[in-house]
Chains A and B, each alone.
Chain A
């Protein structure tokens, strides 16, 4: 019973490098999203998807790209890493759009440091 799986768990990047954070869920959930968690700021929504082929921006989308080619996978791409993107990233999924009335499931997080 995997739930929401994120990889890698830890990553160090140099400024300007690109990378992809992987997220996969095995619960056939329509809704998936990416958050970043920073001290004193809570979790902030980066991008979300309400189904395969459909993505939209959240609160802090700049510097990030997403795609949703399958129901299961929702990768987050950092195009050109900056120190301001040092954070903990969480992927989440829920059965229907926006978690209305549905429990939201989170992955265990990806710790990213940009030097």
Chain B
């Protein structure tokens, strides 16, 4: 049973560039949430996707956008990268009607 997968594992970008991160949920899960985790901090909720729609959003600017595909996989896009966007980006999935979230390994983004 495959767990949550994310790609790429590491990424280096420069300020002003755009980045796309990808996530495949755990088998049987239909809901995907994205989090940003800065060093020494807990994960901060970015948004959640369900049925290809953004269902809930945290306090992140519009530079952060996402998408969910019919197979439940998801993308996180960040435009106009800032140095402060350097963080571990985590994807978590949950089952239909379930609250418990399971995390993928994360993508570590470094913005120079």
Q: Real complex partners, A and B?
A: no
Binding site for A on B (CB under 8 A): none
